[in-house]
């Protein structure tokens, strides 16, 4: 990340573009993704001040690190805290049937839905990134989170 863009983020997060605190790693990852997309679209080779604000606001409202930072360090913490408290992560995913897969016990019965119809009943193994691992008939298979539901839910 170039020093100018880093100063934009520091001004947004720490209210001082000359601050020397390191930027949060998850924000740097989100910035790198946005930067590559701007270049791929042919929209320039730097992130503007407005672009940095958009990336920072997205980070603050959609990541756990960002929400924690917002609650502790900004006046927006109350607003984001209320949103997360009221609707949880379902608001962030746009899915009212959101499941916190990190809280689901192994071997919990799940239903896998493929092509809009119930495909199989299996047992939850674990979650990796955006994939849910399910055991169906003794075979481990991976599905996207939106294809798996808790049985009985």
Q: What is the pLDDT of residues 140-152, one digit of tens each?
A: 888 888 788 887 6
Neighbour-count burial for 36-59, b at 16+ CB within 10 Å, e otherwise: eebeeeeeeeebeeebbeebbeeb
- Give CATH 2.30.30 domain extents, the chain: 101-150
Higher per-residue pLDDT: 9 or 113: 9
Higher per-residue pLDDT: 120 or 30: 30
pLDDT in tens, 29-62: 999 999 999 999 988 888 899 999 999 998 888 8
Topology of the domain comprising 101-150:
SH3 type barrels. (2.30.30)
């Amino acid at each position: 990340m170039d020093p100018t863009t880093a100063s934009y983020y520091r001004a947004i997060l720490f209210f001082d573009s000359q601050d020397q605190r390191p930027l949060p790693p998850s924000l740097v990852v989100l910035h790198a993704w946005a930067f590559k997309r701007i270049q791929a679209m042919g929209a320039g080779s730097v992130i503007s001040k407005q672009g940095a604000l958009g990336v920072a606001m997205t980070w603050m409202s959609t990541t756990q690190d960002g929400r924690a930072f917002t609650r502790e360090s900004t006046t927006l913490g109350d607003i984001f805290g209320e949103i997360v408290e009221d609707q949880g992560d379902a608001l962030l995913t746009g899915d009212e049937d959101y499941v916190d897969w990190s809280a689901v016990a192994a071997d919990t019965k799940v239903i896998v839905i493929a092509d809009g119809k119930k495909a199989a009943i299996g047992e939850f193994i674990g979650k990796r990134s955006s994939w849910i691992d399910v055991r169906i008939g003794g075979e481990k298979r991976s599905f996207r989170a939106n294809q798996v539901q808790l049985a009985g839910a």
